[in-house]
């Protein structure tokens, strides 16, 4: 997927005049209707206020979802428009020292997390992803063409 070049690097989500450091983004689902592509973009932010005592109880930022259209990929960005608000968003690589430091601290924090405390978080994130996809399909399921790994199949309305 085109996002693989971005993920694993410090990223910033710019949306609604906010900037959020994120650890990854993935396109979880794609629908095409009348030539217009809509995407479910699932985003995992990082915490920027970690403290030493946070290692006792694993903390994480809740995932974000953008139902997107008009996605544009470049070497270092993904941009598009939110289907619900029509606001533009942008996910971009960042090399700002503070962002890189926060990203690396969070990455280390996750890598060193106690698996007993971290595994339920992974289950929660996977559940949130499944819920976001179900909601996306519910809201945009109107005689769409479902795209799965370059193999489009038409879905019939019930």
pLDDT tens digit sequence for 108-126: 888 877 677 777 778 888 8
Q: Where are the domains of the chain?
A: 2-154
User: pTM (2 decimals)?
Assistant: 0.78
Distance between CA 146 and CA 158 in Å, rounded? Answer: 15
Give 19-73 pLDDT, tens digit per residue.
Answer: 999 988 988 778 777 778 888 899 999 987 765 555 556 677 888 999 999 999 8
In this predicted structure, the answer to whether residue 101 has a pLDDT above a threshold of 90 is yes
Mean pLDDT over all residues of the chain? 80
In this predicted structure, the answer to whether residue 1 has a pLDDT above a threshold of 50 is no
What is the structure's pLDDT at 155? 41
pLDDT band at residue 154 using 50, 70 and 90 as cut-offs:
very low
In this predicted structure, the answer to whether residue 143 has a pLDDT above a threshold of 90 is no
Distance between CA 130 and CA 41 in Å, rounded? Answer: 12
What is the structure's pLDDT at 89? 96
* Burial per residue of 69-86, b for 16 or more beta-carbon CB atoms within 10 angstroms, e otherwise: eebeeeeeebbbbbbeee
What is the token pair recorded at 87? 């606001």
What is the structure's pLDDT at 133? 86
pLDDT band at residue 153 using 50, 70 and 90 as cut-offs:
very low
Among residues 14, 17, 64, which one has the least CA distance to residue 43? 64
What is the token pair recorded at 69? 């259209």
What is the structure's pLDDT at 29? 79
């Amino acid at each position: 997927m085109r996002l693989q070049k971005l993920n694993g690097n410090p990223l910033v989500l710019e949306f609604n005049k906010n900037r959020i450091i994120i650890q990854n983004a993935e396109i979880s689902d794609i629908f095409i209707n009348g030539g217009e592509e809509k995407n479910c973009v699932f985003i995992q932010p990082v915490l920027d206020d970690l403290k030493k005592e946070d290692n006792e109880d694993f903390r994480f930022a809740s995932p974000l979802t953008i139902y997107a259209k008009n996605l544009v990929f470049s070497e270092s960005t993904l941009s598009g428009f939110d289907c619900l608000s029509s606001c533009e968003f942008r996910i971009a690589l960042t090399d700002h020292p503070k962002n890189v430091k926060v990203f690396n601290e969070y990455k280390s924090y996750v890598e060193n997390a106690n698996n007993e405390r971290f595994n339920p978080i992974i289950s929660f994130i996977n559940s949130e992803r499944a819920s976001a996809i179900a909601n996306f399909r519910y809201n945009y399921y109107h005689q769409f063409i479902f795209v799965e790994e370059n193999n489009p199949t038409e879905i019939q309305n019930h």
